[in-house]
Amino acid sequence: MTAPPHEAHPAGPGRALPDTQQGMRRRNLARVMHTVSAEGPLSRAAVASRIGLTRAAVSTLVDELIRTGLLEELGPERPGRVGRPGSALAVSARGPAGLGAEVGVDHLAACAVDLRGQVRARAVRYGTHRGRSPEPVIEQLAALVRRVVAEAEGEGLWPAGLAVAVPGLVARDARTVVRAPNLDWHDADLSALLPADIPLTVDNEANFGALAELWLGEGTPRDFLHVSAEIGIGAAVVVDGLLLRGTRGFAGELGHVPVWPDGPACPCGGRGCLEQYAGEKAVLRAAGLEPGEDRVGLLAQRAEAGDEEVRRALRAAGTALGIALTGAVNLLDPEAVVLGGALAGLAPWLLPSLRDELARRTAGPACPVSVSELGPEGPLLGAAHAVVRAVLDDPAAVAERG
Amino acid sequence: MTAPPHEAHPAGPGRALPDTQQGMRRRNLARVMHTVSAEGPLSRAAVASRIGLTRAAVSTLVDELIRTGLLEELGPERPGRVGRPGSALAVSARGPAGLGAEVGVDHLAACAVDLRGQVRARAVRYGTHRGRSPEPVIEQLAALVRRVVAEAEGEGLWPAGLAVAVPGLVARDARTVVRAPNLDWHDADLSALLPADIPLTVDNEANFGALAELWLGEGTPRDFLHVSAEIGIGAAVVVDGLLLRGTRGFAGELGHVPVWPDGPACPCGGRGCLEQYAGEKAVLRAAGLEPGEDRVGLLAQRAEAGDEEVRRALRAAGTALGIALTGAVNLLDPEAVVLGGALAGLAPWLLPSLRDELARRTAGPACPVSVSELGPEGPLLGAAHAVVRAVLDDPAAVAERG
């Protein structure tokens, strides 16, 4: 995995790539894996009818996937079905696993997810990383990852790749954290600091949060804008089920969309950016609170208790979000906006003014805004599932390595 | 052509579509067409080496494309080359042609472009359509199209499809103009009004303008934001060479991005939208001029002559564009912004303040802003070339119809 998976890079007929028997086999292996993953357990005949290939062709593909440990046979199907009983196929619960890891501002986490999507190992470590240099933080993360790997290996799994979510801008090399203002990291190359024997992908936490929403959320559409916040405000644009990354990999910088262009100066160089009104620091200031531990919890608790100053601050943040999202919705025409991360916990007080603003600035019906049910787990799960998806998308590559 | 071409709809391995010999043949026919189109004239051997198939496989494909009139042989290659002389292949200058048409606020146009990309017939009609109902306007357009078709048929071409550019929002059915405020059209279905025997696609003029920029512009990147203006301000988002359309087909509504959110009311329901500062009406008002014929020409002429009021109005419009584009660039991270349509003619007076605003609101190097060289021709050419591209993308479909 040298490039980030799930990019908007369709291989259309305009590309002069050879379309060979070998390429067809690879794609058909992926179709079998995806079909069994989404609908299994299934017999070979059921797989064949679903993907439109002959039973014989499917059997050859399935045999290869069983041999390389990606599929397993559950034994003969229970009687009572029509025809000769076939053996039901399922995605293997052993074999390759996706490793996810997260660098939060106040915590580190790692987990292993098997091909069936089950979390099989997990480790978390709390403590702030503000102003710490990348090396010791990443060393601690590497220790968590090793712990998770050891635990997963004990269950017959092996790591197919590691994906790391970070709260910052990541270059398209999927290794370099170009800028993570809340950690004060600049141009930090993570590849030297994590296990060298496992293929590595680094990405922005909003991107992995959006992918988690897409893959694991209930009824998430394939075109949506995922807005997430920890300390800054990030967003991820998903178009037809693929992340829009941008030329440098920096797409989704909602926090620096100008809201009131003559407003307060922002460290980004601009004025009146969304973060100046709806970022954590701005909201705490407007609510008359001091930055400290569990700031979102504190805001939610005060708002719940009826603190009018806090409620007013959150209403104002919702209004600013509504203005920035009006621009985003006009540009992108998504099917929905989903609020995740810290925003999800504050949604009861942000949403009314946000929705009002969006509705009164929109000619037709306003774009629906919903709240993520994955909450702060999203980016970590999205990272691990990105690795799992990469295996399903090209099982032949894993078989070659495995 | 029942769906708009060139959408961001990659057929990734996640889709359970059968990958058959037949599908492979179709895709390889497309590869041959695209290769000869981009690099021809080429011998069969040269095509084979470029697309990575055997000479025999390519010969079979080429024979089929010659039989259906999409490729032609130019006769034996000139001697002096190594090996047995082969016959050079070129895309046919007869056979299928793309028809483009445009409904402007003050003009109608139609043209025919052959598979080599040459304009072979063209017709224009001037006169304002403001406040006219769609039927008589489209009847006039249909007459222009018939004239162009007759002319093209006289040269051995036949229409493979018709694409119509309109200044408004078009539904994803690629037939219904949902809203064209400057024509005062609402939910106008164009399919009944144009030649029924020719496959029809209707799309927003900014989208076709962007495609023209992508396909015909010098050095246009594959990721860019195309900003265009006639009377309203539209934009088109191109990601990896594909248009981002949005759920309803309405993506790219830059004109209704809030710039100063407490500014003047906009007919869209919002306040302080970009069109309130940089739309034609707003600029004319700020410049103290009356709306009339050739408004852009008048503005350019006055600005050129040193009229300080006009220059100030254009500077202010550039500032508003810069603020709106800061938001768009933060969200999309495009490689470039290209100004087309009427904006191109006013660029000398808009660009300095636009670029200033973008630069001072951006932390790193600002996104480069350039000016289209296609000018007002873009949407019409983009429409005709969209049909030509659809033929190159699936020559088998044309052969079945032709």
Q: Which of B215 and B40 is assigned the larger pLDDT?
A: B215
CA distance B383 to A305: 59
Residue of A nearest to B6 (CA): A12
pLDDT at A15: 36
Residue of B nearest to A32 (CA): B16
Residues β-bridged to residue B107: B126
Mutation target vs A (from B29, B36, B225, B333; most A CBs, 10 A cutoff) = B333
The closest alpha carbon to B310, from B285, B336, B292, belongs to: B285
pLDDT band at A315 (very low <50, low <70, confident <90, very high): very high
- Cβ neighbour number for residue B371 with a 10 Å cutoff: 16
Q: Which of A116 and A8 is assigned the larger pLDDT?
A: A116
A138 backbone φψ class: left, alpha, beta (φ>0; ψ -120 to 50): alpha
Q: Is residue B77 over pLDDT 60?
A: no
Q: Closest approach of chain A CAs to the CA of B198, in angstroms?
A: 24
Q: Which long-range contacts (CB under 8 A, 24 or more apart) does B150-156 make?
A: B151/B112, B151/B120, B151/B121, B152/B97, B152/B99, B152/B112, B152/B120, B152/B121, B155/B94, B155/B120, B155/B121, B156/B94, B156/B95
CATH architecture for segment(s) B95-210+379-401 = 2-Layer Sandwich (3.30)
CATH architecture for segment(s) A21-91 = Orthogonal Bundle (1.10)
The closest alpha carbon to B114, from B75, B146, B144, B156, belongs to: B156
State percent of chain B over pLDDT 90: 66
Q: Is residue B10 over pLDDT 70?
A: no
Tokens of B99: 């028809």
Q: How far apart are the first and last CA of chain A?
A: 14
Between A and B, how many CB-CB pairs are < 8 A? 213
Q: Do domains B95-210+379-401 and B218-373 have the same CATH topology?
A: yes
What is A96-210+379-401's CATH superfamily? ATPase, nucleotide binding domain (3.30.420.40)
**Inter-chain residue contact A270 with B50, CB threshold 8 Å:** no
Q: What angle do CA A178, A181, A184 make, to 5 degrees?
A: 85
Domains of chain B: which residue ranges? 21-91, 95-210+379-401, 218-373
The closest alpha carbon to B235, from B334, B315, B340, B322, belongs to: B340
Nearest to B331 among A35, A252, A323 (CB): A252
Nearest to B331 among A8, A17, A331 (CB): A331
HSE of A92, CA atoms in CB hemisphere, 13 A? 22
Among B12-21, B38-47, B294-303, B358-367, the range of highest mean pLDDT: B38-47
Q: Express each pLDDT in B283-342 by its tens digit.
A: 999 999 876 667 888 899 999 999 999 999 999 999 999 999 999 999 999 999 999 988
Q: Is residue B104 over pLDDT 80?
A: yes
Q: Express each pLDDT in A88-143 by its tens digit.
A: 999 999 999 999 999 988 899 999 999 999 999 999 999 888 888 899 999 999 99
Helix, strand, coil percentages for chain B (3-state, nearest 5):
40, 25, 35
Beta-sheet pairing, A242-244 with A119-126: unpaired
Q: Is residue B16 over pLDDT 60?
A: no
Among A22-26, A76-80, A97-101, B102-106, the range of highest mean pLDDT: A97-101
Per-residue HEC secondary structure of A212-260 comes to HHHHHCCCCCCCEEEEEECCCEEEEEEECCEEECCCCCCCCCHHHCECC
Nearest to B24 among A19, A239, A248 (CB): A19
Mutation target vs B (from A187, A331, A337, A338; most B CBs, 10 A cutoff) = A331
**Inter-chain residue contact B360 with A270, CB threshold 8 Å:** yes
Q: Is residue B196 over pLDDT 60?
A: yes
Q: With beta carbons under 8 A apart, name residues in chain A contacting B268.
A: 361-363
CB A117 within 8 A of CB A385: yes
**Inter-chain residue contact A247 with B221, CB threshold 8 Å:** yes
Q: Closest approach of chain A CAs to the CA of B116, in angstroms?
A: 16
Residue with tokens 């774009």: A367
Q: Express each pLDDT in A172-226 by its tens digit.
A: 888 899 888 778 888 989 887 788 888 999 999 999 999 999 999 988 999 999 9
Q: Closest approach of chain B CAs to the CA of A321, in angstroms?
A: 12
Residues β-bridged to residue B224: B238, B336
Q: Closest approach of chain A CAs to the CA of B96, in angstroms?
A: 19
The closest alpha carbon to B228, from B83, B344, B357, belongs to: B344
**Inter-chain residue contact B253 with A35, CB threshold 8 Å:** no
The secondary structure element, H or E, covering residue A71 is: strand A71-76
Is domain B218-373 given the CATH code 2.40.50.140 in the classification?
no
pLDDT at A290: 79
pLDDT at A256: 94
**Mean per-residue pLDDT, B47-76:** 92
Q: Express each pLDDT in A263-298 by its tens digit.
A: 999 988 899 999 999 998 899 999 998 766 678 888
Q: Closest approach of chain B CAs to the CA of A332, in angstroms?
A: 5
Q: What is the ipTM metric for this complex?
A: 0.86
Q: With beta carbons under 8 A apart, name residues in chain A contacting B8.
A: 8, 10, 239-240, 242
Q: What angle do CA A318, A277, A352 make, to 5 degrees?
A: 5
pLDDT at B354: 97
pLDDT at A77: 57
Nearest to B240 among A9, A221, A333 (CB): A9
Q: Is residue A363 over pLDDT 90?
A: no
What fold does the segment set A219-373 form as a domain? Nucleotidyltransferase; domain 5 (3.30.420)
Q: Is residue A13 over pLDDT 60?
A: no
